[in-house]
Structure 1
Amino acid sequence: MSRPPRAPRVQSRQAALQALYAVDVARRGAEEPLEPLAVEEALAELAAHFELPEGAREYARELAVGVARHRDAIDAQLVAHSTNWRIERMAVVDRNVLRLAIYEMGWLGLPPSVAIDEAVELARRFGADPSPAFVNGVLDAVAHSFAGRARAWETT
């Protein structure tokens, strides 16, 4: 029995996560910038090896490059809402799942419930056993801080 095809947005998020992960582990430290060009190159390499439809490829690029461009603001949200966790101490998968979800909520306007559900699924698939609960907790706090604002960069 063959597996049903995954939804394009799910494929996009997975590809974006894998590209961000590849670039993140290649850096010398968590504070070093995520270069948009390096992220695009990693994503192009992934797309060449996996069957990623064009629409999914475009959204993956939007996600991965968007996270790279807004990493400082996104990481500020992580620092503010991940009590007792420094970014560099987070699992690489977890911090990049969180970055993707924060970008989708705060910059693309994805409803928090959708962003959180999708992020928890990514954490379940690619992270360790405690990853889904950790991701859910941090993103719930971030979502509450975004409440009443259309975008993350707007002030209340």
Structure 2
Amino acid sequence: MVEFTHFNEEGRAKMVDVSDKPETARTALAHSSITVSKEIFDKITHNEMKKGDVLAVAQVAAVMAAKKTWDLIPMCHPIPLTGVNISFAWEEDQTGDFQLHIEAAVKTKGNTGVEMEALTAAAACALTVYDMCKAVDKGMVIGPTYLVEKTGGKNGDFRRNEQVK
């Protein structure tokens, strides 16, 4: 019989006890993206959005989201993060729209992983870009958001073989 780790003896949800797990270095890298019009791309890259520097604000939002993941996702542990880094890359698609690729790298030394923190950071970053640009065009598309890789922990390392489209 399969033992579910997130249910107690009564079959109700619980936070897993990780106190017996060894502390190890753990990392996670997540990706998200947001597709925007050429007008929004031009305004972001020329720092002409009325709400300010979109990528700077989105980067701070991503770091804050990683630090507060345990507040947003019910069964996540509060984790002392040792590093959060957000990076951006632009790509023009075949329709003339632009895709902002977001990578969120998160690190800790602890007894549970940081995949959820990296995913939350990447998603919050994309959502912040949307919020700062929606006055220009509400047709932006967010996603996909996915885990690229993770290291450390009892389940070992994971690396996605290809980019999700």
TM (norm. structure 2) is: 0.27
Structure whose residues are more often strand by fraction: 2
Query: Greater relative contact order (Cα 8 A, min sep 6): structure 1 or 2?
Result: 2
Q: TM-score normalised to the size of structure 1?
A: 0.28
